[in-house]
Amino acid sequence: MDPKLDLLYRLADDQLILGHRNSEWNGLGPILEEDIAFSSMAQDKLGHSLQLYTLLHQLGETEPDTVAFTRNADQFHCCQLVELPIGEYDFSLTRHFLFDHAELLRFEALAGSSYEPLAQVARKLRGELKYHALHANTWMKRLGTATDEAIERMQRSLDFTLPYALGIFEKTDAEAEIISSGLFVGEDELRGRWLESISKVLSQTALQVPDVLSLTPVFGGREGQHTEFLQPLLDEMAEVFRLDPTADW
Amino acid sequence: MYGSASTHDLPTSAATGLENEDPILLAEFEARIGRGEKIEPGDWMPALYRKQLTRMIEQHAHSEIIGSLPEGTWITRAPGFRRKMAQMAKVQDEVGHAQLLYSAAETLGKTREQMLIDLINGKSKYSNVFNYPTPTWADSNVISWLIDAGAIVNQLANAKGSYGPYCRALDRICAEEAFHLKYGHDAVVHMATGTPIQRKMMQEALNRWWPAIMTFFGPSDKMSVHTEILMRWKVKMASNDECRNQFLDMYVPKIWEIGLTLPDANLRKNEETGVWEFTEPDWEDFKRVINGDGPCNAERIAVRRAAEENGAWVRRALLTPKTQYVRPLA
């Protein structure tokens, strides 16, 4: 695949699917303020994915609604981390923390991309992602230093989620060209920055951080291999859209 | 989103407790309301006023969070980016309204935690319309347009009431509801003027929702009793029938204009009196549903209960030994 398309699909699909998952917290948050916060982040992520699908459209791909609402799971390039069900709050918060640190650093790097339309979008999105990371940090520090019960839950979630989080940095065949053309600094570089960034926050909690780089990453998502959870999510997302694909809803 | 359904079942006049209130303070309180002044949290107020307002604001807050559920289930299925993002924002607003309203109710002395416990235990109610299902996307659109429209009629009236914190919350809420109304109207118009599948979906949803919409403002004035004192204290600002008539006047022509029909052959405006005539809603069914036996009562409460139980560890973790409950000031 063309390196630009390869990169954009990964970015857009991650944002769309996690935005969708975050929106499932409506009515279920541990406090109302968290229902509202997850909804805000979901709206941002949907908006981010729309901007990225719009860039793809400008490069000749199908228009955003069709791309987002009619592909099957094996045509998606998101990492498996984002497609997992919301679970309990500890998991959703941990995923949000691990993903949004990577995302903030990714878009900070993309602000200097040689592909100017993407650099422009990145300069806008990084401002919003900063708040997502701040929100995650606040809660990680609060719950990661609170009751034994909270610390134990957060530890379990962290241990479970880290291998999936490493899947964010799965490389594709286009990686060398993406780096050499100055599109993006590359997944290895990003993973290094990410590890430093999450470690700084986690060191302020009672949570134990394993040797992250010795964990086996959960790969496959970037190549269209997904968990059993993605297709049902997509079926639900497209349920109304597919009733009448000719309709203007 | 809230109508005035069944919120004012006052005790009979003999049991209002007013005979125990200081007559001088009571006269001054009523004089202030008569002059159009707002009552603020630290001000003297009769116990009955505090009780009725707490109950009303609390029910309104519950209606917002329970009301976010039937529309919320359509966030994950909304067709296309534009609708998906708007549906999220709209439902998020409703949860935000609950947050505002719980704070307003807390100024009267009851904690949010206690209100949520009473909701789960069935001790306090919420707007009855949310006990009905939303089986299609079109049902969600009907709520966004017409239930929010009804709520605005009711809330604009109540925003002129006597309790300061509630009025201020309502002013902010109405401003947002006005956007919901535009969103709902736009979604309904797209469906009603769309493909045959869309038009059929919308007409069927409207037929399903119309009986519930007709009960949204609560029982007929002929049936609701003992509201005179609440009108005098500006707790209740317009009668159920007045609100209903205003709603019909504003929205039935708009519904007809986009080619939809309403499932009531007797619905017409009496041009001499200006009053809408309609088939009397089934108030027995209304009472049955409000008392717990509706199609979705159990499901709505179960979702809320699960949220409370699953999130309890987070709330426990937020408490520290030094944490003290602080009642909002205004």
pLDDT in tens, A138-160: 999 999 999 999 999 999 999 99
Does B323 map to a domain?
Answer: no
Does B108 map to a domain?
Answer: yes
Contact B195 A244 (CB under 8 A): yes
Cα dist from B34 to A183, B18, B42, whole Å: 70, 18, 19
User: Which residues 154-213 of chain A have a CB within 8 Å of chain B?
Assistant: none
Residues of B in contact with A42 (CB under 8 A): 88
CA separation for the pair B296, B204 (Å, rounded)? 19
CA distance A238 to chain B (A): 6
Pick from B271, B8, B295: which is nearest to B131 by CA? Answer: B295
- Which of B66, B81, B198, B309 best tests the A interface by mutation, with the highest count of A CBs <10 A? B81
Does B126 map to a domain?
Answer: yes
B116-167 confidence digits (pLDDT tens): 999 999 999 999 999 999 999 999 999 999 999 999 999 999 999 999 999 9
A39, A237, A241: residue with CB nearest B88: A39
Does B330 map to a domain?
Answer: no
Does B326 map to a domain?
Answer: no
Does B69 map to a domain?
Answer: yes
The confidence band for B16, taking pLDDT boundaries of 50, 70 and 90, is: confident
Residues of B in contact with A69 (CB under 8 A): 79-80
CA distance A122 to chain B (A): 20
Mean pLDDT on A177-191 = 98
Does B328 map to a domain?
Answer: no
For the domain that residue B248 is a member of, what is the CATH number?
1.20.1260.10
- Which of A26, A233, A234 best tests the B interface by mutation, with the highest count of B CBs <10 A? A26
pLDDT of residue B228: 83
Does B320 map to a domain?
Answer: no
Task: Please provide the DSSP assignment of B9-20 as one string.
Answer: -PPPGGGS-GGG
Number of residues that this document lists for chain B: 330
Fill in the DSSP letter of residue A243.
G
Q: Which domain holds residue B215?
A: 5-11+21-307
B212-252 confidence digits (pLDDT tens): 999 999 999 888 765 788 899 999 999 999 999 999 999 99
Residue B12 has pLDDT above 70, yes or no: no
- The residue of chain A nearest to residue B138, with distances taken between CA atoms, is A240
CB burial of A183-193 (b: ≥16 within 10 Å; e: otherwise) equals bbbbbeebbeb
pLDDT of residue B18: 87
Tell me, what's the ipTM? 0.95
Task: Tally the domains of chain B.
Answer: 1
Contact B197 A249 (CB under 8 A): no
Q: Within 13 Å of residue A163, how many CA atoms lie on the same side as its CB? A: 10
CA separation for the pair B258, B253 (Å, rounded)? 9
Contact A43 B92 (CB under 8 A): yes
